[in-house]
Amino acid sequence: MGGYRRRVRLPFPGRPAVVPRALTGVLLAALVAAGGHAVAPAPAAADPDRPRVLPLERTEDARTGGPTARACPPLDPARRPLRIMFVGDSMTQGLSGSATYRYWVWRGLEQTGTDAELVGPRLRTHRAPRDVPPRASYEHLDHGFDRQLAHAAQAGATFLTHPDRPRVLARRYDPDVVVLQLGYNDANHADGAEIARRTAAFVRSFRHVDAVRGGPATRFVLGQVPLAGKSGSRPLAERNAVTREANRLVAAQLTEPCRVVTNELRTGGEPRWRPVRDTFDGRHPNTAGETLMAQRMLDALRRLGALRGRPDVYRPDEPWTPGLDLTLEPAGGREWRVDWAAAERLAGADRARLRLVEPGRAPRLTPWSAATSALMPLRPGTEVSLVLRRGGAPGRMVAGPGPASVVPGPVERPRGAQDPPGD
């Protein structure tokens, strides 16, 4: 899944041969050399995030506002699955315990019967414990996703600090489509025009490899830099203005029908990306945000001709279901040590509480705590379950309660309990 394969493809239906592809690479190179302003930007609109309409026949989906199109020739590489590479930062890599939006894109590919393979040099999520296999750090591994964990994303990456050079990725993994979600961390210091230039340079590097090989140009989904809900190295309003301008320039200067499209996460129809709803910390997607980001990526893939139908993966009420196992150890007398450090670390959680159900009594919850263990008196027969939380924003993720562990020993009847009547 990670190695280089010789590219063997047939031309796309109705697609010219080598000259227009080479010309496209030259035009992109000219764009970068000119500072990213080869094409005049779109006129300013009253709504700064209003989408730029591409010259494609479009409709709006009633549920997500996702654009669809039927103008592109199908992307159908010869004699192999469609190779898709995700390149990005922590939003793409995902935090340990997350499904990641890559999982939901895979589900959408499966829904449409698209024969695809995800490729890239890495398998792990961010902060995944090194003492467990990479697959153990994902929330979901069903529908065959456990064999499709490959990606080229790294938490904290910018276009300049990404550990993978674009030309190396192009030569080694030979993707048909690149899903690119970078720029958020660049906005810590760069302005919108610089982010657009860096995006153009990335695309140009792939096109250079395509031109040398003489094969079809790699198609791109350029993920818009999401609206932030938390400031970083610069004030929040300034950061969002920078990324808004970057998105506008990328859409105006780099998009090509059927070749390079944006995912319209921030400028498309409702629901648009909203940090208060779609992130757990103002920056990173929560469970619902992962599905929204995936839906926008799938809508863009369809506009590229990579999908035959329109999948539906958006889940505004998607629950969070990481592993929630804990351990109980006797500590003398009625004292028990309850430990959930491994579960919290694997789930990428930052707070925990316990659900206690004592015999004959109503369930109760302990206060939220940053601790990973507790020493407490527990009666025999008490059921102890773990509840985990990630993030402090309104869109925070709460999972649980998990499976119950029962305190061993003879169950004591609560004081005042009556024997059941006889037959």
| Domain layout of the chain by residue ranges | 18-303, 327-406
Within 10 Å of residue 369's Cβ, how many Cβ atoms? 12
Burial, 260: exposed, middle or buried (Cβ in 10 Å; 0-12, 13-18, 19+)? buried
Q: Cα separations (Å) of 392 from 154, 230, 290, 397? A: 24, 12, 18, 9
Chain position carrying tokens 């004959």: 360
Mean pLDDT, 10 residues at a time, the chain of 423 residues:
36 33 40 36 38 32 44 76 97 98 98 96 97 96 98 98 97 96 97 98 96 90 97 93 98 96 95 96 97 98 92 97 96 95 97 97 97 96 98 92 94 53 39
According to CATH, the topology of domain 18-303 is: Rossmann fold (3.40.50)
Give the list of residues 6+ apart from residue 287 with CB closer than 8 angstroms, or none: 99, 315, 318, 319, 320, 397
Chain mean position to CA 99: 8
Spacing of C-alpha 69 from chain mean position: 24
All residues at 6 or more sequence positions from 258 whose CB lies less than 8 Å from its CB, including other chains: 71, 72, 73, 219, 303, 304, 305
pLDDT (0 to 100) of residue 64: 45
pLDDT at 294: 98
Rounded CA-CA distance 198/186 in Å is 9
Task: Yes or no: say if 166 and 121 are a contact pair by the CB < 8 Å rule.
Answer: no
What pLDDT was estimated at residue 413? Answer: 58
Please report, in angstroms and rounded to a whole number, the separation of the first and last CA atoms in the chain.
Answer: 67
- Would you put residue 381 in left (φ > 0), alpha (ψ -120 to 50) or beta? left
Looking at the domain 327-406, which fold is it?
Immunoglobulin-like (2.60.40)
Distances (CA, A) of 292 to 25, 225, 233, 261, 287: 32, 14, 26, 17, 9
